[in-house]
Structure 1
Amino acid sequence: MSSTQQVERFGVPWEETYGYVQAVQRGDTIYLSGQVAHSGTDVVAPAPVNDAGLVTDFSLMGEQLRQCYANAAELLRRFGASLDDVVEEVIYALDVDAADAAAGPVRKEAYGRPDPQVASTMIGTSRLAFPELLVEVKFVARV
């Protein structure tokens, strides 16, 4: 594997706190860290949570997914790539039923076609990085 690599960040505090980059390219492959619904340091369409920090409403799943794809598209653009170059995605969702209902339309919109040519896996999880998050999407692209 080539030692030449390019990395990209958004400059958000959790990149330094956790110790990672948002994306790295090695050779012809671009690996994106799991993208969440944020713009700068603000969570986009934050889900309501109760006093215990548990989500009480999953209806904003589609809005959060749209932001995940928008963030991925921005990162890919920095490498001269686009969502057209994505070959694999993994969707991590707090509620798989809500994610399944939202993912079809959002994915088709993001990829710009009725049959996205992307290998896709959805995994249910009990928690994401911030309590208000409903979904996170990891991407691999080939250029």
Structure 2
Amino acid sequence: MGLDKDVKGMGMPWEDEYGYAQAVKVGDTIYLSGQLSHDAQGNMVGPAPLDAGNRILDHSNMQVQMRQSYENAKTLLGRYGATLDNVVEEVLYVTDMDAAFAVAGPVRKAMYGSQRPAVASTVLVTPRLALPAQLVEIRFVAKV
């Protein structure tokens, strides 16, 4: 017996290229794939400057990318009639921990509208994400 999955996407080319769902709802739980900082056309918002070898030169756009990643999560959650208030867990994957910690508190508090968001949160550093100019990716689990 299979699960009843309600799948949503954002129409990004990498959904078909990689072969995955941006969001899946099973029962009262919504799972969002890692969200990054793209606009509605799939263009990176606040791309990191890169050297000739596609290595990140600086992480000064961490805040811009983090905000857009949360905005994209809000869009997907909205397709299920949910909001960030429904989020119970998040995992932030970042390319620089110091840059992330410098902006994550204020960004998260603003996005969740709370000085202490009621969300379990984990931050992990990785040397690289899917796109070379990407500094952050955020995965969410929400309950409705």
After TM superposition, is the score higher than 0.5?
yes
In 1, Cα distance between the equivalents of 2:84 and 2:15?
23
Deviating 4+ runs (over 4 angstroms): none
Specify the alignment match of 1:13 in structure 2: 13
**Superposition map of 1:48-127 within 5 A:** 48-127=49-128
CA distance in 1, matches of 2:74, 2:53: 34
Partner AA of 1:11 in structure 2: G
Q: Tell me the residue number matched to 2:47.
A: 46
Residue identity matched to 2:65: Q
Deviation of residue 41 (structure 1)?
Answer: 1.4
In structure 1, what is the Cα distance between the partners aligned to 2:2 and 2:66? 33
Once the two structures are superposed, what CA deviation does each residue of 1:90-134 show, in whole Å capped at 9, x if it has no partner? 000000110011100000000001100000000000111111100
In the aligned structure 2, how far is the partner of 1:71 from the partner of 1:84?
15
Equivalent pair of 1:128/1:135 in contact (CA under 8 Å): yes
- Over the aligned positions, Cα root-mean-square deviation in angstroms equals 1.1
Residue in 2 that maps onto 1:29: 29
TM-score, normalised via structure 1 length: 0.97
Gaps of at least 5 residues in structure 1 are: none
Give the alignment's TM-score, normalised by structure 2: 0.97
In structure 2, C-alpha distance between the alignment counterparts of 1:61 and 1:42, rounded to whole Å: 16
| 1:2 CA drift (Å) | 7.4
The alignment-based identity, stated in percent, is: 55
| Separation in 2, partners of 1:18, 1:67 | 21
Q: Distance in 2 between matches of 1:78 and 1:47?
A: 29
Secondary structure of 2:105's aligned partner: helix
**CA apart distance, 1:3:** 2.4
1:124-139 equivalences in 2 (<5 Å)? 124-139=125-140
Does the 8 Å contact 1:2/1:27 carry over to 2? Answer: no
Letter in 1 for 2:83: S
Mark the runs of 5 or more structure 2 residues left unpaired by the alignment. Answer: none
Number of residue pairs matched by the alignment: 143
